[in-house]
């Protein structure tokens, strides 16, 4: 059997996985509270270590796969024949899908434990929504679905985590496309009034039957695609999207009837920079500026025990043409290298066998050739607790795997503050 046909079996598996996710995130599953405290703690600790290992082991190879595909698609490896380009498209889509599955499972555990990580900063919701609509149009095109956006060009300021908000919006857009008829239309609108920004995503598909609407945000539950087939996906996305919105002090709801389903995200508006009397954050304006011609290349030390990751970083920085790069496969090798290589910035893998990233960062901080240099952690960690711990260690930035190697140069410029 290639697919799970029984709804009761899907529900049972879903509940089991959510119980596991809650325990992974540091909270005992329902029914575990009565167990002996030491047993519960040992169980939670073991699950925590398990998910950390599994996350790392899945995300690291995905980083290499997606990075290599990005380089090939970007033309750095030369011209790509059309038939090979089609295969690259297929590989990239499925690598992205695998990453989404891993992230959804991790997010579901965090939501169940109340630990979803949000990094708020000023966001132009209008600009973010426009970017997400453009991305969704690429997905909608093969189905012949048109996505129209009704909004003016004025900024709509909110305080939020742009990555998480994009995740919630993307979920609504992808669902609207999924449940639209071929050749159908999805309508997106943004309104700002009464201190609230409201994003509405409407499709004209079969709608959600009234008896199923109370379950629409249940985890591991998917509705019928409208043609008798069970819709693809984990059944996690809407629940995670609502949790993201609520973590931003917002609300998410929907109305549905045959031919008209509308999902709404409501977020509190925040004052614009002009209203606050402050200038825009200079880092967002000039933080990725390139070096002036004629200046000495920035020295970058990359330490990662995975040779594929090192190769991808080398490709990405070579394309930028403005860095001198030193690659090391271990902490000990890095400490030897800084004897005659004084880095401006260190790209540092967090999990390595001989010496982990935080330990190596401390050791480099004591070395005269590396003292005061900038540090960017490279990590496959995706849980809020792991990222919060890393943020507290003093690195200048954190890059999660997988990543696009062609964006590494911009992250380095921002961390160094190149003018």
Confidence of residue 231 (pLDDT cuts 50, 70, 90): low
Strand 345-349 and strand 298-303: the pairing is parallel
CA distance 233 to 269: 32
CA nearest to 334, candidates 375, 297, 294: 375
Q: Helix, strand or coil for residue 121?
A: strand
User: Which of the pair, 125 or 372, is modelled with greater confidence?
Assistant: 125
Residue 55, CA distances (Å) to 248, 306, 400 in order: 26, 16, 11
pLDDT tens, residue by residue, 393-414: 888 888 888 777 878 888 898 8
pLDDT tens, residue by residue, 238-263: 888 898 898 888 999 999 999 999 99
User: Which of the pair, 235 or 62, is modelled with greater confidence?
Assistant: 62
Is 90 exceeded by the pLDDT of residue 112?
no
Is 70 exceeded by the pLDDT of residue 77?
no
Least confident of 32-36, 368-372, 401-405: 32-36
pLDDT tens, residue by residue, 333-361: 999 999 999 999 999 999 898 898 999 99
For 137, counting Cβ atoms within 10 Å of its Cβ (0-12 exposed, 13-18 middle, 19+ buried), the class is middle
What pTM value is reported for the model? 0.54
Those residues with Cβ within 8 angstroms of residue 376's Cβ, 6 or more apart along the chain or in another chain: 345, 346, 347, 348, 395, 396, 397, 398, 399, 411, 412, 415
For 39, counting Cβ atoms within 10 Å of its Cβ (0-12 exposed, 13-18 middle, 19+ buried), the class is exposed
Confidence of residue 64 (pLDDT cuts 50, 70, 90): confident
Q: Are 176 and 186 in contact (CB under 8 A)?
A: yes
User: Which of the pair, 338 or 95, is modelled with greater confidence?
Assistant: 338
Q: Helix, strand or coil for residue 208?
A: coil
Q: Helix, strand or coil for residue 233?
A: coil
Looking at every residue in the chain, the average pLDDT score rounds to 77
Sign, CA torsion 154/158/161/164? negative
Is 50 exceeded by the pLDDT of residue 13?
no
CA distance 409 to 419: 14
377's tokens: 């952690």
Share of the chain above pLDDT 70, in %: 71
């Amino acid at each position: 059997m290639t697919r799970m046909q029984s709804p009761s079996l899907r529900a049972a598996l879903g509940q089991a996985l959510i119980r596991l996710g809650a325990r992974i995130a540091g909270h005992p599953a329902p029914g575990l509270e009565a167990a002996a405290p030491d047993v519960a703690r040992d169980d939670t600790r073991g699950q925590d270590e398990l998910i950390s290992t599994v996350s790392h082991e899945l995300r690291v190879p995905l980083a290499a796969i997606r990075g290599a595909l990005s380089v090939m698609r970007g033309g750095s490896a030369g011209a790509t024949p059309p038939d090979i380009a089609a295969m690259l498209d297929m590989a990239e889509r499925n690598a992205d899908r695998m990453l989404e599955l891993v992230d959804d499972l991790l997010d579901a555990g965090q939501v169940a434990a109340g630990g979803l990580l949000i990094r708020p900063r000023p966001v132009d919701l209008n600009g973010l929504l426009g970017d997400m609509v453009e991305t969704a149009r690429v997905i909608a095109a093969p189905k012949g679905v048109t996505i129209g956006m009704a909004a003016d060009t004025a900024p709509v300021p909110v305080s939020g985590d742009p990555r998480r908000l994009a995740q919630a919006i993307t979920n609504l857009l992808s669902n609207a496309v999924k449940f639209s008829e071929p050749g159908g239309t999805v309508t997106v609108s943004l309104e700002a009034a009464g201190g609230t920004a409201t994003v509405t995503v409407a499709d004209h598909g079969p709608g959600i039957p009234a008896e199923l609407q109370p379950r629409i945000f249940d985890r591991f539950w998917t509705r019928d695609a409208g043609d008798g087939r069970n819709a693809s996906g984990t059944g996690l996305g809407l629940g995670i999207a609502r949790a993201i919105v609520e973590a931003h002090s917002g609300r998410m709801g929907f109305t549905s009837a045959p031919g008209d389903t509308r999902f709404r995200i409501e977020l509190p508006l925040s004052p614009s920079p002009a209203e606050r009397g402050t200038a825009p954050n200079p880092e967002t304006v000039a933080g990725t500026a390139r070096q002036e011609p004629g200046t000495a290349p920035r020295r970058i030390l990359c330490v990662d025990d995975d040779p594929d990751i090192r190769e991808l970083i080398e490709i990405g920085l070579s394309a930028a043409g403005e860095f001198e790069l030193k690659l090391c496969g271990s902490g000990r090798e890095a400490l030897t290298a800084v004897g005659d290589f004084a880095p401006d910035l260190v790209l540092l893998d967090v999990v390595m066998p001989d010496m982990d990233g935080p330990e190596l960062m401390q050791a480099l901080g004591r070395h005269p050739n590396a003292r005061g240099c900038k540090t960017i952690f490279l990590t496959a960690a995706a849980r809020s607790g792991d990222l919060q711990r890393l943020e507290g260690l003093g690195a200048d930035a954190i890059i999660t795997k997988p990543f696009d190697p062609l964006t590494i140069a911009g992250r380095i410029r921002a961390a160094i503050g190149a003018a």
